Amino acid sequence: MILAVVLLLLTVGSVLFHFMSPWWWTPIASNWDYIDHTIIITFWITGVAFVLLICFVAYCVFRFRHREGQEAHYEPENKRLEWWLTIATSLGVAGLLAPGLVVWKDFVTVPAGASEIEVMGQQWQWSFRLPGKDGVLGRSSAEAVTAENPFGLNKDDPQAQDDVVLEAADLHLPAGKPIKVLLRSKDVLHNFYVPEFRAKMDLIPGMVTYFWFTPTRTAKFDILCFELCGTGHYTMRGSVVVEDDAAYQTWLSQQTAFRDSHQPTKVVTKDGPAVQ
């Protein structure tokens, strides 16, 4: 009897905690409200299943409690009940999975015209590459990565010359435009996550992963690493400033283009090293 009451109190407490707790998502700042809807559907389905199951257990604990002279029936088969449970469970699981399929399709379908930016993760900092005026990222390769050229940009590629490399500095993005984020890692698994954008993705050494989103709100947001990536994982923070297009263009024009950050090539002549 006491156990049944405890189970019911546990159910009521859990539901109240869910609706009354002050902890909830940060206000969204991207197009991905689909992701919020999917999580809310998941909460409803798992919440209803949780309440029904615990109430059922509490009922059984009370109804079939030990009483003198009462014997349990052995009933290994009950076709009607099995059908009923199979259909209800199938509907529940389908309800959990189906919205995710719809959202995932959108998540991996980058809209035409999305501008590309690149994010580089390393223990334990974030760096970024933005296309310059031409709007196109130049070619890069892992072999070309050096201390001066952290993204391994191809110095001969004309489209790389106006690229802007931000090493451990704030990322800026224009609001209202779709952005495809290309993700690279120099060392271990990381995960690029801005809670307000909802979307997140792993960075995997040796490959370029991506996701896309449209920032919808101008503000400064924290970037977190969401993959345990070593002892300094918790310090792997960054900032992204979402601003209107005019402010973004002004900021972009003040950044150093890749062509201006080249180290001069050292040429050795017979009179000693000369700078070309």
State the greatest distance between any 2 C-alpha atoms of the chain, in Å, as a whole number. 110
CB atoms within 10 A of CB 166: 19
- Binding Cu ion (rule: CB under 5 A), the pick from 236, 240, 242, 248 is 236
In angstroms, how far is CA 164 from the centroid of its own chain?
24
Nearer to Cu ion, 182 or 229 (CB): 229
* Interface segment toward Cu ion; rule CB under 5 A; list 99-107, 150-158, 227-235, 248-256: 227-235
Determine if 223 is a binding residue for Cu ion (CB under 5 A).
Answer: no
Q: How far is the CB of 220 from Cu ion (least distance, A)?
A: 20
Structure tokens at 135: 């709007």
Q: Two tokens at 205?
A: 């050494």
Judged by CB under 5 A, which stretch of 12-20, 66-74, 129-137, 183-191 contacts Cu ion?
183-191
The reply to whether 194 sits near Cu ion by the rule CB under 5 A is no
Q: How far is the CB of 235 from Cu ion (least distance, A)?
A: 9
Select 164 or 236, whichever has its Cβ closest to Cu ion: 236
Q: Which stretch binds Cu ion (CB under 5 A): 66-74, 205-213, 234-242, 248-256?
A: 234-242
Q: How far is the CB of 125 from Cu ion (least distance, A)?
A: 9
Among 88-96, 185-193, 213-221, 242-250, which window interacts with Cu ion (CB under 5 A)?
185-193
Least distance to Cu ion, CB of residue 150, Å: 16
225 contacts Cu ion (rule: CB under 5 A): yes
Per-residue burial over 217-233, b = 16 or more CB atoms within 10 Å of its CB, e = otherwise: ebeebebbbbbebeeeb
Q: Which residues inside 36-75 make contact with Cu ion, applying CB under 5 A?
A: none
One-letter amino acid at 211 equals F
- Taking CA atoms, 35 is separated from 32, 92, 196, 208, 255, in Å, by 6, 18, 11, 23, 34
Residue 93 vs 208, nearer CB to Cu ion: 208
Does the protein bind Cu ion through residue 173 (CB under 5 A)?
no
Rounded distance, CA 123 to CA 127, Å? 11
Whole-number minimum distance, CB 110 to Cu ion, in Å?
A: 24
Q: Supply 219's token pair.
A: 């503000």
Q: How far is it, in rounded angstroms, from Cα 128 to Cα 239?
A: 11
Total count of residues recorded for the chain: 276
The span from the CA of 196 to the CA of 19, in Å, is: 21
Report the C-alpha gap between 253 and 195 in whole angstroms: 28
Considering only 49-57, 101-109, 141-149, 190-198, which stretch makes contact with Cu ion by CB under 5 A? 190-198
Tell me whether residue 201 or residue 225 sits nearer to Cu ion (CB atom): 225
The answer, yes or no, to whether the previous bond of 32 is cis (omega within 30 of 0) is no
> Can you tell me the distance from the alpha carbon of 147 to that of 35, in angstroms, rounded to the nearest whole number?
38
- Give me the amino acid identity at 65: R
**Which positions from 251 to 270 touch Cu ion by CB under 5 A, shown as an x/- string?**
--------------------
Among 229, 240, 242, 258, binds Cu ion (CB under 5 A): 229
Site residues (vs Cu ion, CB under 5 A): 190, 225, 229, 236
